[in-house]
A and B are shown apart, each in its own frame.
Chain A
Amino acid sequence: MGALSSSTIFRKVAMALSGLFLMIFLLQHFLINITSVFSADVFNQLSHFMGTNPLVQFVLQPILIGGVIFHFLMGFVLEWQNNRARGTKYAVFKGSANASWMSRNMLISGATVLAFLALHFYDFWVPEIKHKYIDFLPEDPNRYHAELVHKFEDLVRVLIYVVSFFFLSLHLLHGFASSFQSMGINNKYTPLIKSFGKLYAVGIPLGFAFIAIIHFLNH
């Protein structure tokens, strides 16, 4: 394990696996949130299940938070190591000539998403934990939709969310297909993976932005 943890390839595979795990979570998060646009009851039922199920609360949630922390810490470690590997910087470096902006700036898009996550946790996760595990308030299965809509009554918050989703999209546009390449998957299915990755990278953040905007417009 020691040899593995010091290997560049192992670090990349770990980054890819944590990224894929977070992308699966993101899809699940989106599928639940989109119901808030169509049915307050369905959204409340799903949110109540996720908020009270012990498996979700005490097993999946810590794994998810661990995955987020690992992905970001590893991202910063890789960036630090990569900067060291260059040594003296070039006077002129034309990165745009041979690589996309997204692939060259994963730290910028990732750090923006990280900053957004801090706000998102402050908006939803912290009040939820306080409600359940600090104040021990009685559980109301119908409170979730109203709380969600209330958050998106603020235009500034909606704008911050939309900009963050744009950076999330940039991050995923490189990250999705890149994670398969890191795991050694580059074959006849790669064009399909890249196409699906683009669809996912644009579709999911766009969907999240749609949810925030529609609740703002409807309040």
Chain B
Amino acid sequence: MKLTLIIWRQQNASAKGGMQTYTLDDVSPDMSFLEMMDVLNEQLMGQGIDPVAFDHDCREGICGSCSMFINGEAHGPDRLITTCQLHMRKFKDGDTIHIEPFRAKPFPVIKDLVVDRTAFDRIQHAGGFVSVNTSGNTQDANSLPIEKQAADKAFDAAACIGCGACVASCKNASAMLFVSAKVSQYALLPQGQVEATDRVLNMVKQMDEEGFGNCTNTGACEVECPKGISLENIARMNREYLTANLKG
């Protein structure tokens, strides 16, 4: 396949970026999107051009590193996948592909397609954990009976890999799906109850301080989430938050 790639290039965090056009021949439909980017970068280096910087790590849809916005959608034109799981067979010979970094004020561009997503880490640090004494007295998790339905829902929420596709896809750059998944995975389990009030208050406060937008329930986040995190989690977080405020 022959492709025209229009890619956001930005030298560093403070530089002014812009879209640059490249052409790439002999792209195999069996390549993953990131392999195609590797081929492009080899071509660019051969021409003495700075390769396109992009995040990647596991390349099997687990780490959540690859953060590209491809043809107007986070992780490109497919569902329940990350960019590394996107294959070139989803495109046609002669296609033009726009590739941009995830856009949100709390996700500043570091270089080209690499964005700083440490805002998510700070939200996690604000309450996305269970304080457990690990000095040898930790209770075996299996000794606590948990209703199957709650366990399944907690596991579904815990599947969130924190990739940021929800923020990138949301027209408001809202992080509610991510934060609600992290709140829900503990809210549904007995281990999370002790710190439930502080958790939701602190995590939502941090989310707001980072400057993410307001959720307007468009549902774009749920559609674009590579792990299928449900909007049900946002409703649960809203309930948890309102209850926590009533408790004072």
Contacts and interface: CB of A to CB of B under 8 A. Distances in A.
Interface in A23-68: none
Interface string B223-240: 110000001101111111
Interface of A: 3-4, 6-13, 78, 81-82, 84-95, 97-100, 103-104, 106, 174, 177-178, 181-186
Contacts of B231: 181, 186
A85 B238 contact: no
Interface in B85-109: 98, 100, 103-106, 109
A78 B171 CA distance: 12
6 contacts: A3-B245, A6-B208, A8-B176, A9-B237, A87-B103, A87-B104
Contacts of A84: 105, 211, 213
A85 B213 contact: yes
Contacts of B242: 9, 13, 183-184
Contacts of B237: 9, 184
B171 A82 contact: yes
Q: Which 3 A-B pairs have the closest CB atoms?
A: A94-B72, A186-B235, A85-B213
B100 A86 contact: no
Q: Mostly helix, strand, loop or mixed at chain A's interface? A: helix
Contacts of A99: 171, 218-220, 223
A86 B211 CA distance: 9
A90 B216 contact: no
B105 A8 contact: no
Nearest to A75: B216
Contacts of A6: 208
Contact of A90 (B69, B174, B212, B245): B69
